Structure 1
Amino acid sequence: MDVKTYWQHFKAHHPEITTDHYDAYAFGSSDATADLLAHLVKIGQKTATTSGVELYEADEPFPFVGEYNIILDAQGNPVCVTQTKVTETVPFDQVSQEHAYHEGEDDRTLSTWRKEHRAFFTREYQVAEQTFNDQIPCFCEVFEVVR
């Protein structure tokens, strides 16, 4: 099912939702990661994510509390709908153990989160011709699955 049809089907089962605004995206930088993270979201293990603030395009809006998101697998198929519950911007080295746990990946510890995200952000910042450091501003988002 394509994203637009998935959204219309979702709204038909949730008449209280009156907005047509949603974002649709896959997590990660590889097909395997996108599929794994979509699965973790769907089963409720992954309820948070982190982005590099400086990696957003100038005209790209930040997620906002109340926003709906359609999580996609590696092939662009909708897996589930989430709703953003909390957003905050903090330096990389101040991301909390709680947030790392809610990201739902690996052993869910802060030390593993920092190791994996440091590697991920280093690559992403290089692609953007920027330099990663432990004080980069991170956009932390908490969400819940609503379908």
Structure 2
Amino acid sequence: MQSLFHPEGNRQIIERIEKLTPITLSEWGVMTVSQMLEHCQQPIKVSFGTLQLKPNLLSVLFGKMAKKRMAQQKQFGRSLPTVKEFRIKHEPDFNQAKSTLIGMIQRFSNEGHGAIAVTKHPFFGEMTMEEWDILQWKHLDHHLRQFGV
């Protein structure tokens, strides 16, 4: 498993993002490439502590079990549900969304574990730095595969 904290893994994700253009089409789903770039920022904001989400009944009942599966699963499957706070309904500026996401990803490599400001995920519960890293990597990889890079 690659790591956003490791400079090489971080560089690889950014290189894939750099291959995207404003007209890159998705292989599945309904998001545009600009919406995807902004969508991918949302879980990172949660880890940085700049976006707070409230746990719900599903997280209490299924969060720990889902976290275990998330850590074991090779790749995220297609068409997984998205929390409403991560849904991007407007059409963001492509260059701005891309630049912001790259900056956020670089922060993992530059700051290391210090980039993660919270230890409790609103759905998965308490998470280690390794679990945060796995979650962020898999989420980014999932959406980059969605757009063919």
TM-score by length of 1: 0.30
Query: What TM-score do you get using the length of structure 2 for normalisation?
Result: 0.30
Determine which structure has the larger strand proportion and give its number: 1
Q: As a proportion of its length, which structure holds more helix?
A: 2
Quick one: higher RCO (CA 8 Å, sep 6+), 1 or 2?
A: 2
